[in-house]
A and B are shown apart, each in its own frame.
Chain A
Amino acid sequence: MKTNNNKIKEKELIVKSKTNNLSEIRDFVYAAASDAGISADVIENIILAVDEACTNIIKHAYKSFPEGEIIIKIKYSDKKFTIVIIDHGAPFKPETIPDPDLQKYYLQHRIGGLGMYLMKSLMDEVKYVSVPGKYNQVMLSKNLNVSH
């Protein structure tokens, strides 16, 4: 809803699915979150959550294929900061990813699920939509103005 004192701003970035674009993605999120007046600590958490989401897309949705597209849309007002990330890679079933168990990883020499766990821990809301053959979408949001 648009009101005079709650103006919604939108920004968009489209990058190829390469890990060397992660720093550009972080800079993009930083610029928008700073503009939204979010505190430094919270900005860092949002940046990390978006990095994790995009890293998962690069590694799992596009399986490191470098020409896939990642579309990052940021929408914010003084109440809420929302990032929607869209890819056209392999369909993703978030419910199949368990919370990480470090003791188990220790024995298995592998690690996974940490990114999603961080996203859920650092953001107020993480929501996945996957339309097989079409797109995956993850929405991350942080409520601002938590004083009441």
Chain B
Amino acid sequence: MRRVERWARDPGLTLRMVLVLAGLSLLYVVFVSTLIWSGLDAVSVLVIAVLLALFQIFLSEPLALASVGARILKPGELPRLQEIVERVAALAGVPRVRVGIIETALPNAFAMGKSARSATVVVTRGLLDLLDDEELEAVIAHEIAHIRNRDVLVMTIAGFFVIVAQLVFRFLLWGGGGRSDRDRRGGIALAFLVSLAVWLIGQLLLLALSRYREYVADRVAGLLTGRPMALASALLKIDGRIQRIPQRDLREVQEMAAFFILPPIRRASLASLFSTHPPTEERVRRLEALQRQLEGLT
């Protein structure tokens, strides 16, 4: 009887993830076929894109850390935080993760690293000030769940063709495609439209995938710490605080939005369809459902 492992399952979410991945794959097959058929130099486009993706996977981590102003903690610095991270990592069975800090009042956290072996959890000073130890532990567990699910890598790879489509679209928009003779014009026009469609639809699918993976990380964090409500409380605190933070502070962390525990930018007018993270109320609702499951009230 593996009770906790059973609680960890969420078939509805898994199914939705399968559907999104299938949709993305289909979209990509259509895109690549069109690219080849249109007579564009598809090979060099793909080679450039692969190089870009490799760059992103292997070199982006130090760049990303630097771009958000994160600093890796030295041994013995903020021992409480480092020990909470170590405990959660040990409980999850993953090797030591590095801990970084950003000196900003904006409370947030994110995880990066292509594998569990070279992972970093970064928190902001504002997060440490805002949360108590239990809530901090829950947020750390959420980030460690992202690391174990390889979410950065999965999102990078899943988003690969969306970036290619975007590149092709921009290239064609600025009159690319070379000296096109009459035969190729139809192909180029089609490639233009398909790239635009792949870019837009792909982006929506990726956002959905990102949101589903947030729910998964929330659930795992709730089980790992044994207290789903500690994470719910942390999310509500972070959320309440974020809305009062001036925009100027938000911009410097904008590009990292996909991996933050809560998106640093919130616009009430934007539908949740366009968000990397699900709305806090929905995340809390799901954590409450998990708590009821733990208490045998389903």
Partners in one complex: no
A residues in contact (CB < 8 Å) with B: none
B residues in contact (CB < 8 Å) with A: none
